[in-house]
A = this chain, B = another copy of it.
């Protein structure tokens, strides 16, 4: 049941331990953008043994390093994690703090008019607004 997660980890060079598999599975299975603490809360109930915060942080950092997930920095003072590693941007609901993925093709290609010494690797658009229901 978690075998495709184990494969995902393995193909990215991350040894699939029980803790890592459950953390990765949780991230892949949500389109919220949880903080480390939210990951810890959600995952610790699912493991038969106790889970250390250090393991959560180590795992999240390892997954970021390996390219399995991305860090999202929107609010000051907290990092969120996103298992959507396709090219995309973020919409932040300023009322709730909720973060939504915005597919890159929904943002028209950006033209930048920078001085030649600025060499661009990538860019990221953060859109602020409200989601009306």
Residues of A within 8 A of B (CB): 71, 73-79, 91, 94, 100, 102, 106-108, 110-114, 117-133
Contact = CB atoms under 8 A, between A and B. Distances in A.
B79 A91 contact: no
Interface of A is mostly: strand
Contact of A126 (B71, B79, B124): B124
Contacts of A121: 94, 128-130
A119 B125 contact: no
Contacts of A128: 120-124
Contacts of A112: 102, 106-108, 127
Given A106-B112, A112-B127, A123-B127, 13 more contacts: A76-B78, A77-B79, A91-B114, A102-B112, A106-B113, A106-B114, A108-B113, A117-B132, A118-B130, A118-B131, A121-B130, A123-B128, A126-B126
